Amino acid sequence: MPPRIAVFTKNLVNPGYQSARIGADRTAARLGASVTHYVPEKPDNVDEQIALIGRAIRDKPDAVVFVPVHETAVNEAILQFDTAKIPLFNIVSKTTAGQRVCFIGSDDRALGRDIARYLFEKLAGRGDIVIIEGASASPTSRDRLIGFQDTLAEYPGVKVRASLRGEYLRDVARQAWLAAADKLKGIDAVLSANDHMALGVIDAMTGVGVARLPPMVGINAIPDAITEIEAGRMLATANFDPMAMSAIAVEATVRHLRGESMPGEIILPVQIIDAGNCAAWNKPYEARPLPVWADVIAAANL
């Protein structure tokens, strides 16, 4: 009987989690596994994810690929996987309770440092910027902000005019920008903790007739951001890749169920995508290449 894998993502609106579901489905199809997705209807909703955990346990999957919607609020529910003896493979944000076989993610602090450094170099080390922060309950947002601050310390000529909360969502970022727009006139650049929010800022500015957008960077390399980079409306993005993470997690799950040993952690490298290399990324998620297991293990020196 093919392995049955339950895949938990945080919401239906963030393209990064759409990509995670696509990566899981593509890899499961290649390996002969089956995937069931468990996603809150309301973005990042704790109560819904807790209920979905209960539903998944009743469905008795062979393993779970899991993104927590909150760093601690679903911990008691996560422990139910241990009680049910269902192995858990964790992606994107680390769980803080229970056992996991493997975590697959990125170094979010390094992502924040590197994309900020890229932007500040383009500004020649001087200018007023606006930071768009991600979800308040997300450790990835916290760590990216720390990375931004690391790099700000290296560039005393770069000043933060404002820091807005976009909750990792396009429309929330758009509304946050519009609410603060009077204070943001003449800013030199926008540093966003993900692409989805950067697109929301573009929506806000173009919606009120701003003809010349400031240099803007994000994180995730989502297809819409690549389009904006090619069009010159975004400067760059850093590749935080939930599709690759989920693909690796599903393959790790299948291999684990076959009895293979697994590393406890796989951290994907940082890559900056700008106008010089974005053509290779200008593909829908369904057409982007997925990681090769042997290459992942070799790159991680495992």
- Amino acid identity at 143: D
> Is the fold of 4-106+241-268 the same as that of 108-238?
yes
> What kind of architecture, by CATH, is found in domain 4-106+241-268?
3-Layer(aba) Sandwich (3.40)
What residues have CB less than 8 Å from 64, skipping those under 6 apart? 5, 6, 7, 8, 56, 81, 86, 87, 88, 89
Give the predicted TM-score (pTM) of the model.
0.91
pLDDT of res. 1: 84
Tens digit of pLDDT at every position of the chain (302 positions): 899 999 999 999 999 999 999 999 999 999 999 999 999 999 999 999 999 999 999 999 999 999 999 999 999 999 999 999 999 999 999 999 999 999 999 999 999 999 999 999 999 999 999 999 999 888 999 999 999 999 999 999 999 999 999 999 999 999 999 999 999 999 999 999 999 999 999 999 999 999 899 999 999 999 999 999 999 999 999 999 999 999 999 999 999 999 999 999 999 999 999 999 999 999 999 999 999 999 998 877 65
The predicted pLDDT at position 53 comes to: 99
Cβ atoms within 10 Å, residue 112: 28
- Residue 131 carries which side chain, given as an amino acid letter? I
Residue 136 has a pLDDT of: 84
Rounded to 5°, the CA angle 6-251-92 comes to 65
pLDDT of residue 302: 56
Q: What is the pLDDT of residue 298?
A: 85
Phi, psi of 280 (to 5 degrees): -70, -20
CA 217, 134, 199: angle at the middle one, nearest 5? Answer: 45
CATH 3.40.50.2300 for domain 108-238, yes or no, is yes
Per-residue pLDDT, 299? 78
Place of tokens 């998944």: 56
Task: Give first-to-last CA distance, the chain, whole Å.
Answer: 30
Check residue 301 and give its pLDDT: 66
Q: Where are the domains of the chain?
A: 4-106+241-268, 108-238
Q: From residue 290, how far is each of 6, 47, 157, 178 by CA, in Å?
A: 20, 33, 40, 38
